[in-house]
Amino acid sequence: MDFKINFLSFYVIQVEGKEEQASKQYKHFQTLDTEEYEESSIKDFLDGEFKKIVKRKVERHPKAEQVPTKLGYFIVEPGHALDSNPNYNLFHRTRFATTKEEFEENSEQFINAYLDTAAVRGGAFLVVSAVPRKYFDHAFVFILKCDFEPKVASISDESTLIRHVEMAITTKNMKSIQYPYMPEEGMVEESELVIHQASHARYFEDFLKFIDYNEPMPEIMKTQVMDMVREHVSETFEAESVELEQFESDMELWATSEKRELQERLDTHQVMEAAAHIVEHTPDAELKMKLGETEIKGLLADFGENIHLAKVNGRYVALIEAESILFEKGASPIEFHKPDDLHGIIEKISSKKWEE
């Protein structure tokens, strides 16, 4: 998808010092209109970047808590329109600016808001308005940030070999904001935007104070699991009982622990029922667990169907059903194994206690 650039404002940010003592300044180099952009070297520098940004995949509920690309939405109180959000208003004005002066005035508000954040780094800051050549009824705003690259040199001549380049920038690891979000080609969501920052640092999104993000899938699943377990336990323990207080304490510890042991509170049917609610909204929800030193990874939908948990003589046993077994890297004799009878394995596990 090619874009026609309406306006582009180019700024350079310089930061001296660290943290609270840091001195942050910016200089406006130029604001270009369509013709000026087409004739400038910045066109070659950004060639293909807007297409790449728009095509970048983003999940409404990401599979991890920290991801480089996020889908944000403008915070709006119930009963109020989007224009009650200051960030939306600034994007909207920038998006539909008709003169260089109007566009530059709005761009200045973006960079001033960015400089107010705690962890600002030096580099080039660009504000761009553009329309796809294929869909002229859609206008976009892009905010781009390229950090300065240390120890950059260019080829000079035979005598000097290289020449040091001051304040070099590159599109590699470039941070970007795209408004509005385009879920499908030719379709836009006016209330959403896409933020991309190659590192997991949050500072590039922090200057947009009135934008929020949907919960990642792990948090949604954790909340659903806690609600489901609480509903079951409320039927078991009396209100304000010591047992209920202990349960709530255990749940708080469970929710904040990175490594969690099996709780043994619900039977297979109850777990499958709870899992079905999650799978209904997220068919590819993953199941990850570790038995001793062995890691098992599969689909949550397979629990109780193809993945089973059992207990024999106080030890945990995982049973996994499959049509085939595949091996990848690292050949081993197991690849030639003729599987044992299941009942024989269970007897072997059961007898381990007596052997000890």
Q: Residue 240, exposed/middle/buried by CB under 10 A (0-12, 13-18, 19+)?
A: exposed
Residues 235-286 have pLDDT tens digits of 777 777 887 888 888 888 887 888 888 888 888 988 888 888 888 877 888 8
What is the model's pTM? 0.75
Between 124-128, 207-211, 292-296, 346-350, the lowest mean confidence (pLDDT) is in: 346-350
pLDDT, residue 203, reads 72
Task: Give the model's confidence band at 201: pLDDT under 50 very low, under 70 low, under 90 confident, else very high.
Answer: low
pLDDT at 355 over 70: no
pLDDT higher than threshold 90 for residue 205: no
Could you report the per-residue pLDDT of 299-314, keeping only the tens digit for each?
Answer: 999 999 999 999 988 8
Q: How confident is the model at residue 356, as a pLDDT?
A: 46
Q: What is the mean pLDDT of residues 293-298?
A: 92
User: Confidence class of residue 8 from pLDDT cuts 50, 70 and 90?
Assistant: very high
Task: Report, as an integer, the average pLDDT of 153-173.
Answer: 84
The answer to whether the beta carbons of residues 95 and 129 sit under 8 Å apart is yes
- Residue 122 is predicted with a pLDDT of 87
Q: Does residue 102 register a pLDDT over 50? A: yes
pLDDT tens across 39-93, in order? 999 999 998 899 999 999 998 888 777 888 999 999 999 999 999 999 999 999 9
The pLDDT score that the predictor gives to residue 200 is: 62
Residue 162 vs residue 37, higher pLDDT: 37
For residue 130, pLDDT over 80 is answered with: yes
Return the pLDDT at 67: 86
SS (H, E, C) the chain: CCEEEEEEEEEEEEEECCHHHCEEEEEEEEEEEHHHHHHCHHHHHHCCHHHHHHHCCCCCCCCCCCCCEEEEEECCCCCCCHHHCHHHHHHHHHHCCCCHHHHHHHHHHHHHHHHCCCCCCCEEEEEEEEEECCCCCCCEEEEEEEEEECCCEEECCCCCCEEECCCEECCCCCEEEEECEEEECCEEECCEEEEECCCCCCCCCCCCCCEEECCCHHHHHHHHHHHHHHHHHHCCCCCCCHHHHHHHHHHHHHHHCCCCCCCCCCCHHHHHHHHHHHHHHCCCCEEEEEECCEEEEEEHHHECCCEEEEEECCEEEEEECCCCCCCCCCCCHHHHCCCCCHHHHHHHHHHHHHHC
Query: Higher pLDDT residue, 18 or 76?
Result: 76
Q: What is d(CA 203, CA 197) in angstroms, rounded to the nearest whole number?
A: 9
Q: What is the pLDDT of residues 174-190, one digit of tens each?
A: 999 999 999 988 889 99
Q: Is the pLDDT of residue 22 over 60?
A: yes
